[in-house]
């Protein structure tokens, strides 16, 4: 009886620990520091810190003035991506240097938050610790109350909105190598879609590649643009610049992207549906983004 009681207590403690972990509220971004200074100089110093900590800086771009984004990966991120279904979406983390009012904010995407949003095998807590050690941690932000890991793994902004596995099929090619070559060529050439390559990560041991793209929002696709969208919805004091850049994933010869109703929502989980600075203010963006990405990777866009 004592053994049975002991086992029951042990199972109860395990269940309680698992329940607490599942109920832990996570936020999208981590503020590393706020300081006075020049964005370019702080970006350069930040890049050096990341490299020293073992991260590979695979891309860098400025979507608009006073903002620089560094995209990094490492062996842990790539290995976890290789083990996860469509893990390429989570193969990188984004570090941002943004001037707001009198300070420059250095922040980064929360690896654990992203691991759950992209349904990855591991929770990337070790990567969180490495980023904290390299850059600092002044607290999480991006959502007032946060989102539980359980909810993130089955995230849906609102009823009838897409989930992570409701991916957009942008184009299909003969095989993985042909698809990569075609997409690279289309992005380098430029098109009416206005998307350009920022970085590329090939997932080891897997027919999967992620390419991050900047979005210029040209012509009638203006509301697909990075600046257009962020001007409308990135209105809080702590900036969510790490929403950018958008990703496309090439898997077994097919080019995919996440629908904007999901991809934007995981970056801005508190964004209201209506009113100022809401999803309603970028109502044209989901279709425009899909069209811009499709055209930019050589696909043919057909509006539903």
Question: What pLDDT does 6 receive?
Answer: 38
CATH number of 26-296: 3.30.310.70
Q: How many CB atoms lie within 10 A of CB 59?
A: 21
Residues of the chain above pLDDT 90, percent: 84
Does 14 score more than 80 pLDDT?
Answer: no
Q: Is residue 219 over pLDDT 90?
A: no
Given a contact cutoff of 8 angstroms between Cβ atoms, the answer to whether 63 and 14 are in contact is no
Question: What does the pLDDT read at residue 192?
Answer: 85
pLDDT over 60 (residue 23): yes
End-to-end CA distance of the chain: 64
What pLDDT is stored for residue 294 in this prediction?
Answer: 97
Report the DSSP beta bridge partners of residue 31: 107
Model confidence at 292: pLDDT above 60: yes
Q: pLDDT band at residue 303, thresholds of 50, 70 and 90? A: confident
| pLDDT computed for residue 190 by the predictor | 79
- Res 68 pLDDT > 80: yes
3-state helix, strand, coil in the chain (%, to 5): 40, 25, 35
**Alpha-carbon separation of residue 90 from 114, 144, 169, 185, 232 (angstroms):** 7, 23, 18, 24, 26
Tell me what pLDDT residue 17 has: 38
Please count the other Cβ atoms lying within 10 Å of the Cβ belonging to residue 238.
17
Residue 2 has pLDDT above 80, yes or no: no
pLDDT exceeds 60 at position 216: yes
Mean pLDDT of the chain: 92
CA separation (Å) from 92 to 81, 134, 145, 214, 270?
A: 9, 16, 25, 15, 23
- Rounded Cα distance, 277 and 272, in Å: 8
pLDDT-derived band at 18 (thresholds 50, 70, 90) equals: very low
- pTM, full prediction: 0.91
pLDDT of res. 21? 53
Residue 146 gets which letter from DSSP? Answer: -
Average confidence (pLDDT) over 71-93: 98
What pLDDT, on a 0 to 100 scale, did the predictor assign at position 155?
A: 97
pLDDT in tens, 221-235: 999 999 999 999 999
Q: What is the structure's pLDDT at 191? A: 73
Q: What is the per-residue pLDDT across 253-266, written as a single tens digit (0 to 9) for each?
A: 999 999 999 999 99
Mean pLDDT calculated for residue range 11-33: 67
Structure tokens that stand for 125 in this block: 């807590």
């Amino acid at each position: 009886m004592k053994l049975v009681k002991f086992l029951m207590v042990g199972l109860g403690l395990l269940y309680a620990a698992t329940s607490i972990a599942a109920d832990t509220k996570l936020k999208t971004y981590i503020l590393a520091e706020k300081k006075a200074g020049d964005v370019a100089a702080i970006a350069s110093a930040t890049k050096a810190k990341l490299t020293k900590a073992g991260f590979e800086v695979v891309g860098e771009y400025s979507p608009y003035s006073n903002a620089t984004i560094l995209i990094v990966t490492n062996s842990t991120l790539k290995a976890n991506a290789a083990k996860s279904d469509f893990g390429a979406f989570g193969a990188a983390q984004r570090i941002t240097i943004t001037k707001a009012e009198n300070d420059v904010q250095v922040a980064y995407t929360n690896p654990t938050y992203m691991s759950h949003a992209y349904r990855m095998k591991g929770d990337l807590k070790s990567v969180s610790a490495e980023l904290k050690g390299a850059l600092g941690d002044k607290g999480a932000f991006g959502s007032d109350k946060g989102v539980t890991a359980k909810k993130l793994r089955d995230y849906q902004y609102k009823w009838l909105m897409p989930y992570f596995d409701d991916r957009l099929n942008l184009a299909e090619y003969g095989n993985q190598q042909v698809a990569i070559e075609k997409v690279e060529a289309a992005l380098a050439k430029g098109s009416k879609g206005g998307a350009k390559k920022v970085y590329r990560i090939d997932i080891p041991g897997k027919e999967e590649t992620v390419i991050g793209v900047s979005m210029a929002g040209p012509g009638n696709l203006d509301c697909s643009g990075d600046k257009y969208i962020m001007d409308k919805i990135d209105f809080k004091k702590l900036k969510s610049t790490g929403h950018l850049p958008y990703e496309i994933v090439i898997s077994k010869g097919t080019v995919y992207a996440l629908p904007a109703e999901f991809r934007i929502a995981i970056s801005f989980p508190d964004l209201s549906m209506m009113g100022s600075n809401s999803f309603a203010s970028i109502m044209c963006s989901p279709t425009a983004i899909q069209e811009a990405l499709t055209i930019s990777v050589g696909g043919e866009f057909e509006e539903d």
